[in-house]
């Protein structure tokens, strides 16, 4: 096993709907049709036909069962993967390290590999491992299966720009049922069965190439991105930051167990503004791609909310670092993310309208039941907005935009690396941006005296300042990180309530509402906007000035 660089893509085929889920599927019918699947026996052949440059490897198509082992997540946390692959009557253990090169590109390096006896996998694996691994593990008895996946695997060589690319397709990738897992534990062939009919069929494509020690990785990464682009052009394929085995070990093979919220940005080692942009881009990518599959495949609206937050954070980051908005960003990425942001915004606004604003409006009326028909109509419009969003996320347009962002971020990381410490000072850039957004917000006129559009602009300025402080949190004073950031979050939330009321009124004015309902809603929404403006004004008066620590 050689050290390789790898890009992972998913081809997701939804399961056939049952009657209980007919309405939900109808709401996302366009997205489902985008995933229409050929018969299992035809998938590998159709891929080869779509990409004639592929060279099938001899005897490459086989059923593979992969069992990952861990010790309560400790090994995965260290970036180690311990996996046993079973092919027919043979078992093989592969222990490797995995680290992020740039988001979407993973470095996989071998630690050791060996054939195993069918009996006592955990102990045999432990005995065959090198000493550092055994020390980290502690005891063979601590080693336990963390995930099991079954797939039909096919492999091709893919010569690309002088690079020996390997394409691996795992078809019908699924976690076996409890009965099948028991058969696997008894070393039978129960896992050879097809996935249960109620599971969505997942097909994973791994595009990899050797990266010998001492060689420049850039031509290899370029070749991998080019191959990924061709695959997206030929299939409904979507780039993922982690592969299915890692997601299964974390609790979900499809990666949609729960929505992913923003984490703190790690600026360690970032001496320049450009290096900070790369670190922030990495952080945002985790939130973005941690939620897009959930938006596409789940009915949980929290995925929509968190993916929308990721896009807002990205737009703010590119505003902060506008100096680095090159032609590729402006022509290939920004217009596509604006399109995506509009769909996310419409879906999220309608979620808030149905789940929050309308119930509050009805509760304020002496006859809340008179709003039931409006709520039903609003919910139908919400489902339609979600269907449009899911269709977009199941499209080639979205897949190419997502890949373009990851490739752009990789190129930006290269330039930041080449510049070293010679680029723009991170501290000076952070101080300048924090001061600018604070002054814009602090100069806002009395919120109770300005119009709705101006209050919305103040809310956006509060969002810019809050995200900027969060991005540069490690460079700011403790008071800024704690008190100022918390006050900004409160201000943004209060003004957001007022904006939600304004959005709700616009929706109602376009619906078949009774004159009484429109009149009641106008009065209620005006009261909400006045209250939030007054409360926002108080918070703004009390907002302290943020401070960035001294630096180079």
What is the 3-state secondary structure of 481-516? HHHHHHHHHHHHHHHHHHHHHHHHHHHHHCCCCCHH
By the 8 A CB rule, do 350 and 385 touch? yes
Q: Are residues 109 and 222 in the same domain?
A: yes
Q: What is the pLDDT of residue 369?
A: 93
- Whether 260 is covered by a domain: the verdict is no
**Number of alpha helices (DSSP H) and beta strands (DSSP E) in the chain:** 22, 10
Of 203, 225, 255, the one marking the end of a domain is 255
Q: Are residues 420 and 430 in the same domain?
A: no
- Whether 476 is covered by a domain: the verdict is yes
Q: What is the pLDDT of residue 202?
A: 85
Angstrom distance (rounded) from CA 96 to CA 111: 5
Of 216, 235, 255, the one marking the end of a domain is 255
Angle at 264 between CA 261 and CA 269, to 5 degrees: 140
Regions of the chain where pLDDT drops below 50: 14-37, 184-193, 196-199, 255, 552
Of 378, 396, 424, the one marking the end of a domain is 424
Give the CATH number, domain containing residue 437: 1.20.120
Whole-angstrom CA distances from 199 to 11, 183, 304, 325, 514 are 14, 19, 22, 42, 45
Q: What is the pLDDT of residue 30?
A: 38
Q: Are residues 182 and 237 in the same domain?
A: yes
Torsion of CA 488, 492, 493, 499, to 10 degrees: 170
Whole-angstrom CA distances from 313 to 99, 173, 316, 471 are 24, 33, 5, 9
Q: Are residues 348 and 477 in the same domain?
A: no
Spell out a b/e string for 48-86, using b for 16 or more CB atoms within 10 Å of the CB, else e.
Answer: beebeebeeeeeeeebbbbbbbbbeeebbeeebbbbbbb
Q: Are residues 140 and 38 in the same domain?
A: yes
Q: Are residues 488 and 551 in the same domain?
A: yes
Q: Are residues 117 and 218 in the same domain?
A: yes
Domain holding 489, by residue range, is 425-552
Q: Are residues 402 and 434 in the same domain?
A: no
Q: How many domains does the chain have?
A: 3
Q: What is the pLDDT of residue 114?
A: 78
Q: Are residues 276 and 398 in the same domain?
A: yes
Angstrom distance (rounded) from CA 243 to CA 501: 42
- Share above pLDDT 70 across residues of the chain, in percent, rounded to a whole number: 82
Q: Are residues 246 and 271 in the same domain?
A: no
């Amino acid at each position: 096993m050689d050290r390789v660089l790898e890009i992972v893509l998913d081809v997701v085929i939804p399961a056939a709907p049952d009657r209980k889920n007919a309405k939900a599927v109808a709401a996302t019918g366009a997205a489902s049709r985008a995933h229409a699947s050929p018969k299992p026996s035809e998938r590998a052949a159709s891929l080869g036909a779509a990409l004639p440059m592929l060279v099938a490897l001899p005897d490459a198509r086989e059923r593979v069962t992969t069992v990952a082992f861990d010790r309560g997540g400790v090994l995965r946390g260290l970036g180690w993967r311990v996996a046993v692959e079973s092919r027919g009557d043979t078992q093989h253990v592969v222990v490797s390290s995995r680290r992020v090169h740039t988001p979407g590109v993973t470095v996989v390096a071998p630690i050791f590999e060996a054939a195993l006896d069918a009996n006592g996998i955990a102990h045999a694996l432990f005995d065959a491992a090198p000493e550092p691994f055994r020390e980290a593990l502690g005891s063979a008895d601590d080693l336990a299966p963390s995930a099991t996946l079954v797939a039909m695997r096919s492999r091709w060589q893919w010569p690309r720009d002088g690079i020996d690319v390997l394409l691996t397709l795992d078809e019908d990738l699924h976690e076996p049922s409890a009965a099948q897992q028991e058969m696997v534990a008894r070393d039978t062939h129960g896992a050879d069965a097809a996935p249960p009919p109620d599971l969505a069929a997942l097909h994973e494509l791994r595009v990899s190439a050797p990266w010998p020690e001492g060689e420049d990785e850039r031509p290899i990464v370029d070749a991998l991105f080019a191959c990924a682009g061709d695959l997206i052009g030929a299939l409904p394929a979507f780039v993922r930051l982690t592969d299915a085995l890692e997601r299964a070990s974390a609790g979900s093979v499809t990666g949609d167990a729960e929505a992913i919220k923003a984490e703190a940005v790690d600026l360690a080692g970032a001496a320049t503004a450009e290096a900070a942009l790369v670190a922030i881009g990495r952080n945002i990518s985790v939130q973005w791609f941690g939620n897009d599959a959930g938006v596409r495949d789940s009915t949980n609206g929290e995925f929509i909310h968190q993916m929308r937050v990721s896009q807002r954070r990205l737009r703010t980051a590119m505003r902060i670092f506008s100096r680095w908005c090159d032609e590729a960003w402006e022509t290939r990425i920004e217009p596509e993310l604006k399109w995506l942001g509009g769909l996310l915004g419409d879906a999220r606004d309608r979620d808030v309208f149905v789940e929050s604003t309308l119930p509050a409006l009805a509760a304020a009326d002496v006859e809340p039941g008179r709003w039931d028909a409006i709520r039903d109509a609003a919910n139908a419009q919400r489902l339609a907005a979600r269907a449009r969003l899911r269709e977009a996320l199941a499209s080639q347009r979205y897949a190419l935009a997502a890949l373009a962002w990851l490739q752009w971020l990789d190129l930006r990381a290269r330039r930041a690396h080449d510049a070293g410490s010679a680029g723009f000072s991170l501290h000076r850039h952070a101080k300048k941006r924090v001061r600018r957004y604070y002054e814009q917000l602090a100069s806002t006129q009395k919120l109770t005296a300005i119009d709705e559009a101006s209050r919305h602009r103040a809310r956006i300025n509060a969002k810019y300042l809050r995200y900027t402080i969060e991005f540069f949190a490690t460079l700011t004073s403790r008071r800024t990180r704690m008190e100022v950031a918390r006050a900004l979050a409160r201000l943004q939330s209060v003004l957001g309530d007022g904006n939600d009321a304004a959005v709700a009124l616009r929706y109602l004015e376009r619906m078949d509402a009774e004159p009484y309902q429109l009149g009641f809603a106008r009065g209620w929404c005006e009261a909400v906007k006045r209250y939030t403006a007054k409360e926002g004004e108080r918070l703004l008066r009390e907002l302290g000035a943020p401070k960035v620590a001294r630096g180079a």
